[in-house]
Amino acid sequence: MSEQNEQSVGEFTLAGPLATAPPAGYTAPEPDERWPLPGGFAHVYYGERNQGIVRPVLMADGFNLGKSDLTWLYAGLDSTYPMLTELRRRGRDVILVGFNERSASLLDNAQTVTAAVHRTIAERLGGTRLMAGGFSMGGLVTRYALARMEMQRMDHQVGVYFSWDTPHRGAYIPIGLQAFAHFIPVPNDFARQMNSPAARQMLWRHYDAMTGQNGIAPERREFLKRLDEAGGWPRIPRVLALANGRGDGTGIDVPPGESVLKSERVYPGTAFYAQAQGREVTVAELRRRFPESEKTITTGDLPELDGAPGGTLRSYGILADALKKAGAQVDLRHEEICFVPTVSAVAIRDLDQQKDLYANVGDLAPDESETDDFIWSSSTTPHTAVTEELATWLLDRLFG
């Protein structure tokens, strides 16, 4: 296998269902309005029988590299379960908020959401309070935007805020996988995504390519400080949270320390292992031919994150696809792993301790959560997947 094969492997990003192409045969409707916004844009879809914006629901896009594709986002939110169709059928106007660069700082993209809220208020017919939230990163951006508006004594007029599988306490990409992005010896999309401001702010632990160490990124500490200074959460609206992971403490079957992915022919001998507890745990053995190099990636004192209860991402499956495309032979044992732990999505526990990460949320006092009401999935589902169970829960509370 050639040098070109190895170099081509990083031409991918880790993305969930909302950032993938619509299913065959599904066509999203044309928006009734398109708004340019600072750092982004919005598509407006009127509710049935509405001649303008009457009962607005703002929904902010999630994380990936590059510009939001709101046509794909609409399809992701409506094709498996018709949540947007149902919202509009009940007379709600859907406003999808996108970003010019989804991997930019959450603080910057919060300005786009703030502008969308102001524009919505200005265009609204009547006085119905807004509903606003987002999916994954979009929930965190909206949380900060609304909290900051309250701190600045701006009237955002939001009555309900929701977050869908949002990493309130952090998201998880395996340290070995992050390290591999920088082991590819040429600039690549995967490395750009992992090293982006938004990734540094949201990842619970970040791999620093310069030092080879993993820890809490300075950008995350700064974001959490700014969020705390803004009051942490918006206090005026009712705060709702949804988790794609289970809440009974049951994770997915990814035994700690077990091989999850091995590659031959391209990056021959490279192997990744599920995160285990311990002082010095090997999570990846990285090997390449061009230029020849070897690196062992270890972690210390981390809980068993790969199999934790939470919304899943095809983290290793996406890499395996890229390796196979480059001509590798892969041994893939676990394509999906935990991405946003349930306790993070419902803001009830931190991720540092095994007992918290695997807590039975149903046994915890609901007021331990920083939200007013929350739901977890009865079965493990992909990160931000719109299931009937979660969508109907949200719709019931938006119309309750």
Percentage of the chain with pLDDT > 90?
95
CATH of 17-169+221-250+346-399, one of 3.90.1010.10, 3.65.10.10, 3.40.50.1820, 3.40.640.10: 3.40.50.1820
End-to-end CA distance of the chain: 60
Q: Which of 267, 305, 304 is nearest to 285 (CA)?
A: 267
Statement: residue 105 has pLDDT above 90: yes
DSSP 230-298: TTSS-SSSEEEEEEEEESSS---S--TT-EEEEEESSSTTEEEE----SSSEEEEEEEEETTEEEEEEE
Q: What is the mean pLDDT of residues 298-306?
A: 97
Average pLDDT across the chain, whole number? 97
Statement: residue 134 has pLDDT above 90: yes
- Considering the entire predicted model, what is its pTM? 0.98
Statement: residue 400 has pLDDT above 90: no
State how far the Cα of 182 lies from the Cα of 124, in Å rounded to an integer. Answer: 47
In the chain, what are the domain boundaries? 3-11+170-218+251-340, 17-169+221-250+346-399
Spatial contact of 372 and 240, defined as CB atoms under 8 Å apart = yes
What's the burial of 285, exposed, middle or buried (CB within 10 Å: 0-12/13-18/19+)? middle
pLDDT digits (tens, 9 = 90+) for 146-168: 999 999 999 999 999 999 999 99
Phi, psi of 196 (to 5 degrees): -70, 160
Statement: residue 1 has pLDDT above 60: no
pLDDT digits (tens, 9 = 90+) for 332-380: 999 999 999 999 999 999 999 999 999 999 999 999 999 999 999 999 9
